[in-house]
Amino acid sequence: MSVPHLISFDICPYVQRAVITLLEKGVPFERTYIDLANKPDWFLALSPLGKVPVLKVGDEVLFESAVIAEYLDETTEPRLHPTDPLQKAKHRAWIEFASAGLMSLWNFYVAADDKAFAAARADIESKLDRLESVLGDGPLFAGTSFSLVDAAFGPFFRYFPVLESLGETGWFDGRPKVKRWADALLSRPSVREAVQAGYADKLTAFIKKKEGVLAARVANSR
């Protein structure tokens, strides 16, 4: 049987969730990168929402990162989702929260005026506060065993070193549990290897192209 084939974009955080899950499980896979600014026809024919990730499994096409992660989890070891229905539902809910966090980050780095920029920063900070209030002893979401929630948050935390390099700092001040979780994820091989060398430069270039408040501040400080 052919190996799963992941259709990717180089800085997409949702794609990274699938890659992290595949790497944690040691599942061999093929990866094809596309340019979302210039989507190939074969991709548009394949992807019902025109979004990555898409995972091809034989002739079948899966889309939506949470669905892809659960499919991989149900078909390969080790299991990263809890088996208890309540715990599993809770993990799914926090994966949704990670997606909301990615939206907040997007709103921050594309914000076109100071008001939107400040509101997006406050929104991210309130989400970090919420995380601080639910985390346990760590270092991971559910203690010491890696879960799909960790796979969803690895790409979320990857934004912060880049934002810090652009002068936006202080995200983890007073949030030691979130900091410990972010550090644990960002040093984990599956999370590190989910992007290629040059990721930070590519994200920085993407942010600059958006020409928002953050891009202008970076330009003015140089």
Ligand X SMILES: N[C@@H](CCC(=O)N[C@@H](CS)C(=O)NCC(=O)O)C(=O)O
Contact residues toward ligand X (CB under 6 A) are 9, 12-14, 36, 50-53, 64-66
CB of 193 to ligand X, least distance (A): 18
N residues, the chain: 222
Judged by beta carbon, residue 66 or residue 186, the one nearer ligand X is: 66
CB of 39 to ligand X, least distance (A): 7
CB of 25 to ligand X, least distance (A): 19
Judged by beta carbon, residue 52 or residue 213, the one nearer ligand X is: 52
Judged by beta carbon, residue 21 or residue 65, the one nearer ligand X is: 65
30-33 and 54-57 beta bridge pairing? unpaired
Judged by beta carbon, residue 11 or residue 128, the one nearer ligand X is: 11
CB of 31 to ligand X, least distance (A): 15
Catalytic residue among 12, 102, 163, 178: 12
CB of 136 to ligand X, least distance (A): 26
User: Can you read off the two tokens belonging to residue 102?
Assistant: 């990615």
Place of tokens 């966090």: 101
> In the annotation, is 12 catalytic?
yes
Judged by beta carbon, residue 65 or residue 104, the one nearer ligand X is: 65
The neighbour count for residue 102, using CB atoms within 10 Å, is: 18
- What are the catalytic residues? 12
